[in-house]
Amino acid sequence: MKLVVLLFAGLREATGESRLELELCDGATVADAQAELLRRFPALRERRYAFALDHHYATGSTAVGSARELALIPPVSGG
């Protein structure tokens, strides 16, 4: 299954990508997607971020399921 991955702020600058697609196995978790991202972008290893699946915060153990969009959320600083 295909999952769109979005990268923001410093993560976008560190990887040079704002949007990409991953092909994941059925039953994949957020951690599985993260492992593939770390393989492609070693620069992510040094970074702190949270995950969001279809606009809701998620954790590594969250199943991707039918979600379409995974976002890596660096520490927020709005306001």
Q: Judged by CB, which is closer to another protein: 25, or 76?
A: 76
Chain positions 17 to 56 lying near another protein, rule: CB under 8 A, are 47-48, 52, 55-56
Enumerate residues 6+ apart whose C-beta is below 8 A from 39: none
Nearer to another protein, 8 or 20 (CB): 8
Q: Across the beta sheet with 19-23, what order do the strands follow?
A: 19-23, 2-7, 69-73, 50-53, 56-58
- CB 26, min distance to another protein, A: 25
Using DSSP's 3-state secondary structure scheme, residue 25 falls into: coil
Contact residues for another protein, defined by CB under 8 A: 6, 8-10, 13, 47-48, 52, 55-57, 71, 73-79
